[in-house]
Structure 1
Amino acid sequence: MIRAVCCSVARRPITRRKQESNMRRLLCAATMLCAAVAVGQAHAADRGIAVIVKTANSNYWQNVRKGAADAVAKVENYTMTFQGPTSESAVADQVNMVADAVTQKVAAIVLAPSDPDALVPSIRKAWEAHIPVVLIDSMISDSGAKYYQSFLATDNEAAGEALGKEMVDHVGQTGKVAIMSYVPGVGSEIGRVGGFRKYIAEHSHIQIVGPFYSQSQMALAMNQTTDVLASNPDLKGIFAANEMTAVGVGRAIQQAGKSGKLYAIAFDGNEDEQGFVRSGTFQLLAVQGSYAMGAKGVETAIGVLTGAKPTKYVNTGVVFVTSANLDSPEAKQVLY
């Protein structure tokens, strides 16, 4: 009897130790479960979309940012980062930005590639990491076709051809017309300038002066245009192929006292360009839907993430703006 009591007393400490050990295991498991749930909720609440453009130093790309930000704000559990190099010619910087986004394991990337070839390896890495990429504004080379989900942009070649027609209709079949372009080899530049030159060549005997490349730097475009105007006093027309180039071109035309004396047309539509239309320095702007590119680019990326099948190419259109419709609702939707 005494043995039984002794055995019973001896077993109690062992039982308590087991109970305490079991309790510690349960508490540890509960703590780990709570931590896992918290991490999962944090990821769900912060699915980052990286919007990477050609340069952050441009009203055009800032308008893209506005569209992207508004699209993200309409959807729960998504955030957005926005960045771009200091200039459109800083291709290596943009390549690094895409690589960093992949390393950070963002949910998706919305990209306006500065170079059709240089960005392909980075986009491939995103594809390998199962990060969807939506391209806007400019295309990459055919070698990267399978690495992006959708491409949203103006049909730049068609727009360039339409501007070529406008030029021929206003200056006639002969004479000189200058092309002031931006970064050679960029997808949008190839389309715009290529389409413009194609129409001119097929429908007139106009002599093309240029193209000259400003690297999207206003001051360089201004200096180049000043030289072109001085060396070609008989110039009938001038085509500025993007925003920063156009601002430089407009200022050069004004300083040379040539406003209204030649037919000047340009892409994009910031406040400076609008002012050139009002003053008669520019006769026509071809304005892309930059806000729509940002908004639809993010919407498309979120759609891919939630299982929607994207359209491979979406034409975001272009609006021709002149002094006659500058203040119209249609123009105000695209001007910035």
Structure 2
Amino acid sequence: MRRHILAVASVLLLAGCGSGQIGDTGGGQTDPNNRNLALLTGMRGEPFYVSMECAAKQQAAAAGYNINAQAPEKFEQAEQSQMLTGIIGTRPGAVIIAPTDDKALAAPLQQAKNNGVQVVEVDTALEDRSIAVASLSSDNYAGGKLAAQTLAQLTGGKPGAVLALNTKAGTSTTDERAKGFEEEIAKHPNLRLLPTQYTENEPATAAQIVSATLAANPDLVGVFATNLNTGEGAGTALANAGRSGQVQLVGFDASPKQVEDLRNGRVQALIAQDPAAIGREGVDRAIAAIKGQPVERETRTNMIAITKDNMQAQSQYFYKSEC
């Protein structure tokens, strides 16, 4: 039975490798009395980031800090870089950021660091690990493996093709999810993994890819969508084709729309994160760094597989659409 095959991972913040350390601020010095924080998430209005922002605002207020929260309209590097430049000009004590590109954001964040602004990464991270004082995110590789295990069990040993939908190449979180999924699904010889497709984080593009894949692969038995927008698009395509529940769909995240899709059978499982915990801990790490206190460099959170059978018991992991 499904409820017996899906392991529930407790969502606890786990200390990563390496000992706690204080980030070097380069040429700039951080004012330990600076009580201004900036939060720059990956996309405005996306429930994952909304949940993170709500929790971060609460945590900052409780600690007596001001927080300026911003986000680009789309998960794109250009607009986020422009916003970051403006934030650096206001000289907050720290910027808490979900970088939309793991390379292109390095230069402006290095500038922030050089100007005495502490950098804390949340959700996504730079390839260059020397810039941020701390990084907090879900264990995305483990989440991808959990998605593959869940999908393999949902198919019940039925042979067929499986499709993984990624978002944008160079997005650290979804790349890790896809990697974990691909490596785990290879352990199931009845499932034939198709080449991973990129959706550019657009639901309509995800829907088009799934529709085309259904036409080209009549034996499609499963789809893994690496994030919220991709999962919503995949669910729409399967519903329009009359294949909901026949093709098992495992999505990532637990937005209100995805939860409703799980409830009505358009999605068979969701791999949920804990964005609120990431937001709270991001603020705590930023404040500690401003004060010159030791900061844990890497923090990872586990994830949970939610199905229709256990969704009521796991409702605390559903994301918010507003604070």
In the alignment, structure 1 segments of 5+ residues that lack a partner are 1-42
Equivalent of 2:131 in 141, 147, 155: 147
1:237 aligns with 2:225: no
State the alpha-carbon separation in 1 of the partners of residues 136 and 189 from structure 2. 32
Match of 1:195?
A: 180
Higher helix share: 1
Which shifted more, 147-156 or 93-102?
93-102
Aligned partner of residue 147 in structure 1, secondary structure: coil
* Structure 1 residue 249 displacement after superposition: 0.9
State the alpha-carbon separation in 2 of the partners of residues 268 and 166 from structure 1. 14
1:51 aligns with 2:51: no
CA-to-aligned-CA distance 1:192-232 (integer Å, 9 cap, x gap): 00110011224435222232212111122222222222222
1:97 aligns with 2:57: no
Match of 1:122?
A: 108
Match of 2:56?
A: 68
Match of 2:69?
A: 82
The structure with higher relative contact order (CA 8 Å, sep 6+) is: 2
* Structure 1 residue 147 displacement after superposition: 1.2
Contact 1:64–1:293 at 8 Å: present in 2 too?
yes
1:281 aligns with 2:281: no
Match of 1:253?
A: 238
* Structure 1 residue 274 displacement after superposition: 0.7
Contact 2:32–2:291 at 8 Å: present in 1 too?
no
Aligned partner of residue 157 in structure 1, secondary structure: helix
Match of 1:302?
A: 287
> For the pair shown, which has the larger CA radius of gyration, 1 or 2?
1
Count of aligned pairs: 289
Which shifted more, 207-216 or 183-192?
207-216
* Structure 1 residue 289 displacement after superposition: 0.6
Contact 2:256–2:318 at 8 Å: present in 1 too?
no
State the alpha-carbon separation in 1 of the partners of residues 141 and 295 from structure 2. 23
State the alpha-carbon separation in 2 of the partners of residues 176 and 241 from structure 1. 17
Match of 2:201?
A: 216
State the alpha-carbon separation in 2 of the partners of residues 46 and 302 from structure 1. 9
Contact 2:221–2:248 at 8 Å: present in 1 too?
yes
Amino acid at match of 1:303: A
Aligned partner of residue 258 in structure 1, secondary structure: coil
Cα distance, 1:333–1:180 mapped onto 2, change above 3 Å: closer
Aligned partner of residue 260 in structure 1, secondary structure: coil
* Structure 1 residue 327 displacement after superposition: 1.3
Amino acid at match of 1:116: D
* Structure 1 residue 174 displacement after superposition: 3.9
TM-score norm. by structure 2 comes to 0.84
* Structure 1 residue 102 displacement after superposition: 1.5
* Structure 1 residue 267 displacement after superposition: 0.2
State the alpha-carbon separation in 2 of the partners of residues 106 and 271 from structure 1. 33
Contact 1:319–1:331 at 8 Å: present in 2 too?
no
TM-score norm. by structure 1 comes to 0.81
Cα distance, 1:246–1:97 mapped onto 2, change above 3 Å: same
Contact 1:53–1:112 at 8 Å: present in 2 too?
yes
Match of 1:37?
A: none
Amino acid at match of 1:191: E
Contact 1:214–1:245 at 8 Å: present in 2 too?
yes
Match of 1:181?
A: 166
* Structure 1 residue 285 displacement after superposition: 0.4
Aligned partner of residue 223 in structure 1, secondary structure: helix
Aligned partner of residue 82 in structure 1, secondary structure: strand
Q: Percent identity?
A: 25
Cα distance, 1:173–1:140 mapped onto 2, change above 3 Å: farther
Cα distance, 1:97–1:255 mapped onto 2, change above 3 Å: same
State the alpha-carbon separation in 1 of the partners of residues 242 and 88 from structure 2. 51
* Structure 1 residue 44 displacement after superposition: 9.6
State the alpha-carbon separation in 2 of the partners of residues 218 and 152 from structure 1. 26
Contact 2:96–2:282 at 8 Å: present in 1 too?
yes
* Structure 1 residue 55 displacement after superposition: 1.0
Contact 2:33–2:291 at 8 Å: present in 1 too?
no
Aligned partner of residue 238 in structure 1, secondary structure: strand
Contact 2:254–2:317 at 8 Å: present in 1 too?
no
* Structure 1 residue 188 displacement after superposition: 0.4
Contact 1:46–1:79 at 8 Å: present in 2 too?
no
Aligned partner of residue 194 in structure 2, secondary structure: strand
